[in-house]
Amino acid sequence: MSFATLGLAPALLRAVREQGYHAPTAVQTAALPPALAGSDVLALAQTGSGKTAAFALPLLQRLVASPPRPGPRALVLAPTRELAMQTAQLLRDLAALLMQRPKIALAFGGVSINPQLMALRGGCDVMVATPGRLLDLLDHNGLTLAGVQCLVLDEADRLLGLGFADELQRVIAQLPARRQNLLFSATFAPAVESLAAELLHEPVRIEIDEAPPQITQRAIQLDRAQRLPALRQLLAEQGWDRCLVFVASRYTAELVSDKLFAHGFKAGVLHGELSQGARRDVLEALKAGSVKVLVATDVAARGLHVEALDAVVNYELPRSAADYTHRIGRTGRAGATGVAVSFICADSAENAESHFRLIEKRQGQRVPRERLAGFEPQAIATEAEATGGIKSTTRKSKKDKLREAATRAGG
């Protein structure tokens, strides 16, 4: 099966190739045809299954085919700002080659509303938002939903589980009655079933029963200065055909890639400051085998699909547990097995051990610590240091705090 057989427009087929998609995933294969035909869709799909592209591609194709009108013509609701940001970025990337590039707007709480209101002054074609902030924008007359032709509820079970049910109803009340609805969820919980029965009209129901990815996680303790030689040793010993190494910045990506190349490894680099053509070329080189180690920033953590990617190495830890999940999810896909290695540096200013413990807590899994022979660290974080905690990078909005208080009061 290929994307060309699913009815996508030529410009979107080129965009798919630019983004490194080789073949559609199971949920994309099942969801694209009915979504492109204008049907409502109810899809059960796990995180990492490719569901974002499953609704993004038909949404963009519909925008290209329909005449412009005031206000957003498509609305995507997501439960968290991380997911909203990921979705907006993928939509922008996929739309980059369209003749009439739609304007993608992004809004979420926890930050000032003023820049988001300013961004909407010229209107938008697609609104990607969390429900609470969308209602704030509506209250400020920042936009109207009267022209929405397609509504997407992404991770509907999380939307309902986080207490957005009332806000969803307020949003839906402001939408036109005639529209397409695409609902994606990881589970068909009773609340999701009730919402689907109310919202969807004769939907195409899709259930993708995929086994969870088989990823072996490893955490290696070492000093910061040992990371590069330790990485070289792992690459030499493990014999991975394709490996993705994650770092935090463009500078580090280029430095590590250059150092590996100088030591004889077929290394390439991928970061947000590369042109679209350069990104495409390095991804094609990775798939073809002329590049075996791709050193990348988090621009590669979401939406990137490379078949038979043997390993992911967190040379530098990601900022959040969600980013960690997306990073390691690049391996072990489509029923294959994979390995995810994280370097834990006790001498890092960011307190890597404490940070990794938070990641473990969020994913509900403890990863045994290892040491490589010849790379034993000079200092190991004590238990007190390791459990000292780190500050959250996300400040809760007043609305979030009120919602949590209401949940506690209700039992």
Provide DSSP, 337-388. Answer: EEEEEEEEETT-TT-HHHHHHHHHHHHT----EE--TT---S----HHHHTS
Q: Angle, nearest 10°, between helix axes 165-172 and 190-199?
A: 10
pLDDT for residue 257: 96
DSSP state of 402: H
Paired residues of 218 in beta bridges: 341
3-state secondary structure of 45: coil
For residue 147, being part of any structural domain is answered with: yes
- Name the domain boundary from 143, 174, 207: 207
User: What's the structural domain count of the chain?
Assistant: 2
- Please state which of the ranges 124-128, 303-307, 336-340 shows the lowest mean pLDDT: 303-307
pLDDT tens for 385-409 read 444 443 333 344 555 555 555 545 5
Alpha helices by DSSP H, listed for 163-264, are 165-172, 190-199, 227-238, 250-262
Residues 203 and 219 in one domain: no
pLDDT for residue 86: 80
For residue 343, being part of any structural domain is answered with: yes
Residues 292 and 177 in one domain: no
For residue 22, being part of any structural domain is answered with: yes
pLDDT for residue 254: 96
Beta carbons within 8 Å of 133's beta carbon, 6+ residues apart = 107, 108, 109, 113, 116
Residues 218 and 200 in one domain: no
Which amino acid belongs to residue 331? T
pLDDT for residue 171: 95
Round the average pLDDT of the chain to a whole number and report it.
Answer: 85
- Alpha-carbon distance of 131 to 117, in angstroms, equals 15
Pairing of strands 311-314, 293-296: unpaired
Phi, psi for 126 (deg, rounded to 5): -130, 130
What helix, strand, coil percent values describe the chain, rounded to 5? 40, 15, 40
- What count of other Cβ atoms lies within 10 Å of the Cβ of residue 320? 18
Q: Which residue has the higher pLDDT, 217 or 351?
A: 217
- Alpha-carbon distance of 304 to 297, in angstroms, equals 12
For residue 35, being part of any structural domain is answered with: yes
Q: Which residue has the higher pLDDT, 268 or 335?
A: 268
Tell me: pLDDT of 369 over 80: yes
The CA–CA distances, whole Å, from 407 to 144, 194, 348 equal 30, 20, 38
Residues 44 and 111 in one domain: yes
pLDDT tens for 281-328 read 888 899 888 999 999 998 776 656 676 789 999 999 998 887 888 788
The burial class, CB within 10 Å (0-12 / 13-18 / 19+), for 273 is exposed
Tell me: pLDDT of 15 over 60: yes
Residues 89 and 179 in one domain: yes
- The most distant pair of C-alpha atoms in the chain lies apart, rounded to whole Å, by 66
Residues 173 and 221 in one domain: no
pLDDT for residue 224: 92
pLDDT for residue 272: 80
pLDDT for residue 392: 37
Q: At CA 13, angle to CA 156 and CA 247, rounded to 5?
A: 65
Residues 287 and 182 in one domain: no
Residues 202 and 299 in one domain: no
pLDDT for residue 302: 60
CATH value at residue 186 = 3.40.50.300
Tell me: pLDDT of 335 over 70: no
For residue 404, being part of any structural domain is answered with: no
- Whether the model pTM is above 0.85: no
pLDDT, average across residues 46-73: 84
- Name the domain boundary from 157, 183, 207: 207
For residue 184, being part of any structural domain is answered with: yes
Beta carbons within 8 Å of 173's beta carbon, 6+ residues apart = none
Q: Angle, nearest 10°, between helix axes 321-328 and 352-363?
A: 70
Highest mean pLDDT among 47-61, 124-138, 340-354, 363-377: 124-138
pLDDT for residue 394: 39
- Alpha-carbon distance of 372 to 209, in angstroms, equals 38
Q: At CA 147, angle to CA 143 and CA 150, rounded to 5?
A: 110
Residues 289 and 345 in one domain: yes
Q: Which residue has the higher pLDDT, 307 or 216?
A: 216
Tell me: pLDDT of 176 over 60: yes
Tell me: pLDDT of 383 over 50: no
- What count of other Cβ atoms lies within 10 Å of the Cβ of residue 236? 11
Which range of residues forms the domain containing residue 348?
Answer: 214-386
Residues 134 and 257 in one domain: no
Which candidate, 127, 107, 126, 109, places its Cα nearest to that of 117?
Answer: 107
pLDDT for residue 211: 60
- Name the domain boundary from 207, 234, 258: 207
For residue 323, being part of any structural domain is answered with: yes
pLDDT for residue 131: 94
Residues 199 and 318 in one domain: no
For residue 391, being part of any structural domain is answered with: no
The burial class, CB within 10 Å (0-12 / 13-18 / 19+), for 254 is middle
Tell me: pLDDT of 268 over 80: yes
Which candidate, 81, 128, 84, 133, places its Cα nearest to that of 399?
Answer: 133
Residues 345 and 286 in one domain: yes
